[in-house]
Structure formats: C-alpha cells, structure tokens
Copies of this chain bind each other. A is one copy, B any other.
Amino acid sequence: MRLSRYFLPVLKENPSEAQIVSHRLMLRAGMIKQASAGIYSWLPLGFKVLRKIENIVHEEQQRAGHIPMLMPTLQSADLWRESGRYDDYGEEMLRIKDRHGRDMLYGPTNEELITDIFRSHVGSYKDLPLTLYHIQWKFRDEIRPRFGVMRGREFFMKDGYNFDLTKEDALHAYNRHLVSYLRTYERMGLQAIPMRADGGPIGGDYTHEFLVLAETGESEVFYDSAVTDLTFGDRAIDYDSVDQCAAVLEEFTSKYARTDETHDEALFAEVPEARQRTARGIEVGQIFYFGTKYSEAMGAKVQGPDGKTVPVHMGSHGIGVSRLLGAIIEASHDDKGIIWPEGVTPFHAGIVNLKQGDEEADAACEALYASLKALGLDPLYDDRNERAGGKFATMDLLGLPWRITVGPRGLKNGVVELTSRRTGDSEEMPPEAAVEKIAQIYAGIA
C-alpha cells in the first residue's frame, strides 16, 4: 500500500479520553475511532490487524479439528428463558423489541443458540465428539465502557462449544482447547499464561483463564516465575491424542498461577520464595467445562452405545479477538509507539523515501515495493512529500517491525538501511539484501 492512497488518519496529539497506552496508541495510529460509548469503527489499519488475528484464530481452531460456523448477532429471548438465563442476566444484556413486539437480545454469548442447533440435529453418540465455534460480534452493555477495545460494548469474540458423550471425552476437548490456545497466542507474539479461574455460579474445577502480563491489566495475578519459562514452540501435536493433550495441560498448569479470584495464600507460600511473583494481567481467553448444565435444561441428549439417552457433556471456550489488539499493544510498545509482533503486523515492512521526488530515490523505492510484493509480502510505502523526521515518527508510531530507509546518499553507495523497530538497530545493505532478509524473517509466518 502506498501511504498517499491509504486512509491513515494519524493524530499528532494524545487524545484526552484515552487512559491506557493501547487505547491512546490505537487512536493516534488511526486504527479506531469511537462511534459511540464503547463502540468503535475499525479504521483500515485497525481492521487489517483485526482480520489477521481473526485468521490466526480460525487456522488454529481448525487445526485442532474444530468446525467453523456462524451464529447471528440477534437472538430470540425464548431460548434464554429455557435455560433460565434471561432473567439471571442483568442489565449487561441488551434487550430489544422488534416491530412485532417480540423480545430479542443482542447475544453476549451463545450457549443457548448452539445447544438448540445441536439438539435439533444430533441424536446419536456416533456423531460425537463435536466442537463447533464461531467468531462473531457480541454486545455487553457495560455500565462504564473504557480502555478502548479492551472493554468495549460491541466486541468481536471467538466462542466454541464442545459436545461429548462423557465427562472424560469432554475433558479431552478441554485439554485440546488449551493446547490450541497456547499455539494461537504464541503466533501473535504473546505469552498468555493459563491460570486457574473461578467457575462462578456453575462452579467446577475445570476452567482456566489465559492472561497476558501487563502493567495495565485489570486482574492481579500470582504465579511461580517458572511458568513464564514455558513455551509451546513449534512442537508437533496430535490433537486426537488424549495423552499428548493431557501432557501439555499438565506441563502448563501444574505450576502455581492464579488470579486474585482464585488465589490461595497457603498454596502460593509453597512456591520457592525466589520464584513467587505478583503482577497484573489482561484476560484474553477462557476455557470452561460445565458438564450438563445446558444440555439438561434444554434437552440436548444423545443415545449412547448402550441405547440409553443421556444429556451431552459440554464446555465453552472463548478468545477475545478485538480485545487482543489492545492486549498485544499493552505488551509490546515503547514511548514512540506500537511494536507489532511479526505474526500480526498490519504491514510486513515500511519503506521510507527520504527524498520524495528524487528520481533515483523514487525508483529505488518503487523497485523495493515491487520486489516485496512479488514475494507475497505486504509493504507500506511512505511516498508522501514530508520531512524525514515526520516519516520516521509515523513509522515508529505504526510499529511495523521492519523499516527500509531509502535516500540519495545511501543509494550513491548502493545501499539502503534496514531498521528493526524492536531493537532500533540499523544495518546498511544493498536493496536486494534487505528484501531477502525480510523474506527470510517472514518465511513460515506471513
């Protein structure tokens, strides 16, 4: 993309309404614009990252064997009356009447609707195991929406639901989700630590939240520092293997890691003192096995191999897709702006032309732009007539991981400059070498 043809309304001043850095940087970098309280328009740059995150979530869910579908945003109140949640859910549920006066709602989650789909179409254990998921806009009418997309009212979320014959099978689905979530977050350059969560009114031991450590996190967290040494990496895993998935769960959850909701001082005291850590964290996902709560209330039953009809065991598993943009920025920025991890960066590299209009510089930039595109990469070329200082400041704000700087002086020596946004280190090299290096960095990522 050429910046002169893009819509990138960068703000020079810090917007006064933004209390946290991710909100401030998303507004300044022209990624979002508030449409009304807690509701955002995703400007082109923001939408591009949102879509990348969505695609990573899709890929990792499907790799785990989960099946994509899409439920609507508006739901009938009737299903929620069946489960008993229509009255339980407070004012955060946006209730709507249509022109015929029928009670509708903007779905804050989808247990009822997916259970209805399941019970309408599945009647035998032979169709299990089954995990369906979707990525759809949801609405929660937060009384005080704030922190930009981190705590908005209209938000984009992946929610998946497993249906299994037995508790044992459902716990494999639980473990499978945990593994797929670890992979998902790592691809986004995030370390998200699974922490034992509170089962809420349903209770149960089987729920973990995934937290990204960040000073601005809404939760206080307590953990054994050994958990931050764990990485999933590129290990191969067979998602059908009960043992493999269980081993990953064991590895990633056996050390102490809890939020304030489930924190246990006595247990924490057993962690070697040098490894006890307290910090703040942002919740970016949760997995939850809740057994037969909805299947019993709504009659989602299957015939088992013994001919008996039993309610299915279910769980629901969420990833906060729009919230992740905020979390990534909270975890990865400096005082100049965002620093995108390669896996989610909106553009793979920026090209800065130090002297727009200089024949040689323009030609070199065009050639770089074309070479990167020919390799399937997506560069952002700042072809505006602006001072170098302004162009650098914009690129730093946007946070593309790599910048190629092109100027007449370097070109005389046959070189351009390749700069890492994260380290700030620059290196001079011929243009072809810069292209080659960027291609290598993104091989297997882009």
Interface of A toward B, CB cutoff 8 Å: 5-7, 9, 30, 33, 35-37, 39-44, 46-48, 50-51, 65, 67-76, 78, 91-92, 94, 96, 98-99, 102, 104, 106, 113, 116-117, 120-122, 127, 130, 132, 134, 137, 139, 141, 143, 153-154
Contact = CB atoms under 8 A, between A and B. Distances in A.
Nearest to A143: B99
A44 B132 contact: yes
Given A30-B121, A35-B71, 11 more contacts: A6-B67, A7-B130, A9-B120, A35-B72, A39-B72, A44-B67, A47-B70, A50-B70, A72-B154, A73-B137, A92-B99
A37 B189 CA distance: 42
A117 B73 CA distance: 24
8 contacts: A35-B72, A35-B75, A35-B116, A42-B69, A47-B68, A74-B153, A98-B141, A99-B143
A249 to B, nearest CB: 23
A39 B78 CA distance: 14
5 smallest beta-carbon distances between A and B, as pairs? A9-B121, A36-B76, A42-B70, A91-B99, A47-B70
A44 B102 CA distance: 28
Contacts of A98: 94, 141, 153
Contacts of A35: 71-72, 75-76, 113, 116
Contacts of A68: 44, 47-48, 51
A67 B2 CA distance: 12
A271 to B, nearest CB: 42
A28 to B, nearest CB: 13
A41 B99 contact: no
A109 to B, nearest CB: 14
B132 A72 contact: no
Contacts of A67: 6-7, 44
A121 B143 CA distance: 29
B141 A71 contact: no
Given A98-B141, A99-B141, A141-B98, A72 B41 contact: yes
Contacts of A41: 69-72, 113, 117
